[in-house]
Amino acid sequence: MKQQDRYKAIVERFEAEMPAPKTELHYSDPFQLLVAVILSAQCTDKRVNLITPALFEAYPDAKSLAGADLADIFELIKSCSYPNNKTKALKNMACKLLGEFGGNVPDDIDSLMSLPGVGRKTANVILSVVYDRPAMAVDTHVFRVAERLGLTTSSSSPLATERQLVRHIPEEKIAKAHHWLILHGRYVCKARKPECDSCFLSDLCRHFERQTAKSARAAAKARALAKPE
């Protein structure tokens, strides 16, 4: 299958199966989403959603978070991964957001990435979800699923994966595609044990194709060894 044909078929299949995908992080404004995405690094969305209600109640905006005591922030987020680093990142992010952007979450990638705790993935999430830009945030799920499906070649970096996906996916579908790949990786194409037998993309998937061929070769070898002399 040609690469562009694979993209077209997979996008159409996702569109049919998940017509309105969205982030599973809970938030009510751009600032809250930014905080949630920072917290979600190497942490599950489920855990983040347990943490953020009390955090947002205590610090609903950049001004309140910037003025917060580090120990108080830590106490509210200590159940997430790397709470010490994230405590400092959140306060420093809020201070810079307040001092340089008037407390408003910027809408360009360079400004977003200038904020403490915000890398390219986080910036692209904000651009995609908040500002509906054709930005592809590449996390571990996107990186893994894109390669398994055959949408990308074995990439040495998330940036290479991002560029390949953005180049081939129609611009108006990129924001959706970000969620498609994340959700598929989270619930179907799992890291350790992908659920290929129940996957609606298995007939289009390069990984499944390879695994099927490998199983066929193993079965043929076993039959050959079982034949009587």
Q: 45, 139, 190, 221: which is the annotated catalytic residue?
A: 139
Decide if 174 contacts 134 (C-beta within 8 A).
yes
Q: 108, 121, 173, 176: which is the annotated catalytic residue?
A: 121
139 as an active site residue: the answer is yes
Decide if 38 contacts 90 (C-beta within 8 A).
yes
Distance CA 66, CA 48 (A): 20
The radius of gyration of the chain's CA atoms, rounded to the nearest angstrom, is 21
45 as an active site residue: the answer is no
H or E element: which one contains 11? Answer: helix 3-17
Distance CA 27, CA 11 (A): 27
* Phi, then psi, of 77 in degrees rounded to 5: -115, 10
Give all strands (DSSP E) within the chain, no chain letters: none
Q: If you count them, how many residues does the chain have?
A: 229
Active site residues: 121, 139
